[in-house]
């Protein structure tokens, strides 16, 4: 895996109004790309397109130069997406079955499936939930189960839609561990997020989606003002710091 590339992506749900009007991004292996932008600008839509679940009316998505659609036909497990709303993802009777679902569809023997499920659950700290029905869980627990159900097959490209919502410090720590692990193992993460800490802490590239188009910058060339210009809330402690610094003429 070298690079995921989206070029000149146009998309409309209705056939009239275009949500994406020439969006583009490049995500090289071993990097995290943060996708920011106002609510309703099309972040989730773009992630669904990158996952091959929606087809753009125009534009091209390639992995190492080859069409994503052709690659997915050969190997569906190369891309995994964790939806914005965990309720859209979870449909099995128990958490165990939820995590086992993808390896079972890949036709792996049950003994191997069990090993994968237990390892993944352990990694995300959700072993105690394995026998529970997903609908009984809290949103934060559902988020971790949804992540586990994708992580279990180790997709080369992991798409995370607002991964920090619903999570407490522990859950967030687990997600952050996974993100860093992905980087180290030369895989690709693209995450839509409104969380400035996630952007500053983990993103190598930042893309802002607005009016259907993306503007991307490497982290080192992105100022806080640029990152937060459209939608990202600045935490109050940071605002205080900025005010204090500017008060000192810094």
Ligand X SMILES: Nc1ncnc2c1ncn2[C@@H]1O[C@H](COP(=O)(O)OP(=O)(O)O)[C@@H](O)[C@H]1O
Residues in the site for ligand X, rule: CB under 6 A?
A: 13, 19, 37, 39-45
Angle at 27 between CA 210 and CA 154, to 5 degrees: 120
For ligand X, the closer CB: 43 or 213: 43
Instruction: Give the DSSP H or E segment for 51.
Output: none
Minimum Å distance from CB 82 to ligand X? 13
For ligand X, the closer CB: 40 or 233: 40
Minimum Å distance from CB 186 to Mg ion? 27
Which residue in 189, 226, 234 sits closest to 208, CA to CA? Answer: 226
- The option from ligand X, Mg ion, none interacting with 90 (CB < 5 to 8 A, set by class) reads none
Is 227 within 8 Å of 197 (Cβ atoms)?
Answer: no
For ligand X, the closer CB: 156 or 162: 162
Using CA atoms, how far residue 97 sits from 80, 81, 84, 146, 243, in Å, is: 17, 18, 21, 12, 51
Minimum Å distance from CB 42 to ligand X? 4
- The option from ligand X, Mg ion, none interacting with 41 (CB < 5 to 8 A, set by class) reads ligand X
- The option from Mg ion, ligand X, none interacting with 13 (CB < 5 to 8 A, set by class) reads ligand X
Judged by phi (left if over 0) then psi (alpha if -120 to 50, else beta), residue 37 lies in: left
User: Is there binding between residue 84 and Mg ion (CB under 5 A)?
Assistant: yes
List the strands of the sheet with 58-63, edge to edge: 20-28, 3-11, 58-63, 66-67
Q: Is 31 helix (H, G, I), strand (E, B) or coil?
A: strand
If binding means CB under 5 A, how many residues of this protein chain bind Mg ion? 3
Which residue in 36, 18, 22 sits closest to 190, CA to CA? Answer: 36
Enumerate residues 6+ apart whose C-beta is below 8 A from 157. Answer: 1, 4, 27, 50, 63, 78, 79, 80, 187, 188, 189, 190
Compute the distance between CA of residue 194 and CA of residue 18 in angstroms, rounded to an integer.
23
For ligand X, the closer CB: 37 or 80: 37
Minimum Å distance from CB 21 to ligand X? 12
- The option from Mg ion, ligand X, none interacting with 39 (CB < 5 to 8 A, set by class) reads ligand X
For ligand X, the closer CB: 157 or 209: 209
For ligand X, the closer CB: 8 or 97: 8
User: Is there binding between residue 44 and Mg ion (CB under 5 A)?
Assistant: yes
Minimum Å distance from CB 84 to Mg ion? 5
- Summarize as ranges the residues that interact with Mg ion (CB under 5 A): 43-44, 84
């Amino acid at each position: 895996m070298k690079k995921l590339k989206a070029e000149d992506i146009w998309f409309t749900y209705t056939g009239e109004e275009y949500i994406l009007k020439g969006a583009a991004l490049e995500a090289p292996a071993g990097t995290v790309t943060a996708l920011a932008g106002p609510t309703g600008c099309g972040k989730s839509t773009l992630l669904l397109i990158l996952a091959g679940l929606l087809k753009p009316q125009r534009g091209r998505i390639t992995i190492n130069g080859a069409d994503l659609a052709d690659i997915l036909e050969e190997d569906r497990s190369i891309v995994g997406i964790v939806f914005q709303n965990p309720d859209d993802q979870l449909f099995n009777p128990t958490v165990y079955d939820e995590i086992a679902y993808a390896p079972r569809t890949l036709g792996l023997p049950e003994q191997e499936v069990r090993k994968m499920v237990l390892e993944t659950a352990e990694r995300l700290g959700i072993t105690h939930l394995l026998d529970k029905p997903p609908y009984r869980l809290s949103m934060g627990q559902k988020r971790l189960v949804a992540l586990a159900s994708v992580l279990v097959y180790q997709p080369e490209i992991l798409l995370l839609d607002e991964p920090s919502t619903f999570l407490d410090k522990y859950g967030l720590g687990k997600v952050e561990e996974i993100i860093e692990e992905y980087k180290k193992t030369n895989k690709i993460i693209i995450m839509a997020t409104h969380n400035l800490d996630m952007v500053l802490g983990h993103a190598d590239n930042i893309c802002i989606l607005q009016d259907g188009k993306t503007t991307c910058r490497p982290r080192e060339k992105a100022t806080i003002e640029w990152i937060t210009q459209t939608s990202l809330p600045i935490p109050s402690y940071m605002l205080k710091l900025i005010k204090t610094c500017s008060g000192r003429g810094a």
